Amino acid sequence: MYIRLKNLREDKDLSQCQIAQYLHCSQSAYSRIESGKQDIPTSFLKQLAKLYQVTTDYILEMDKFSC
């Protein structure tokens, strides 16, 4: 998931600082999320899915699993 977050951000040519501003958090807090040192709050997950125009399942890499 964390690599996917970074790739989505870089694909949009955004910095961690810009994402942190969008989420109303510090750059260091977002950096910890993107590096996997901190869990992503549900509210951030929803906001990022909207920003990147993907599903929350895609961010969480649940799209890899099918029954």
What are the structural domain ranges in the chain?
2-64
Q: Alpha-carbon distance 24 to 27, whole Å? A: 9
pTM of the predicted model, to two decimals? 0.87
CB 47 within 8 A of CB 40: no
Q: What is the pLDDT of residue 58?
A: 95
The CATH number of the domain covering residues in 2-64: 1.10.260.40
Instruction: Scan for tokens 């699993």, then name that residue.
Output: 65
Q: What is the CA radius of gyration of the chain?
A: 11
pLDDT value, residue 1: 82
Q: Locate 60 and state its tokens.
A: 């969480």
- State whether the Cα torsion 25-11-59-5 is positive or negative: negative
The predicted structure's pLDDT at residue 27: 98
pLDDT in tens, 10-30: 999 999 999 999 999 999 999
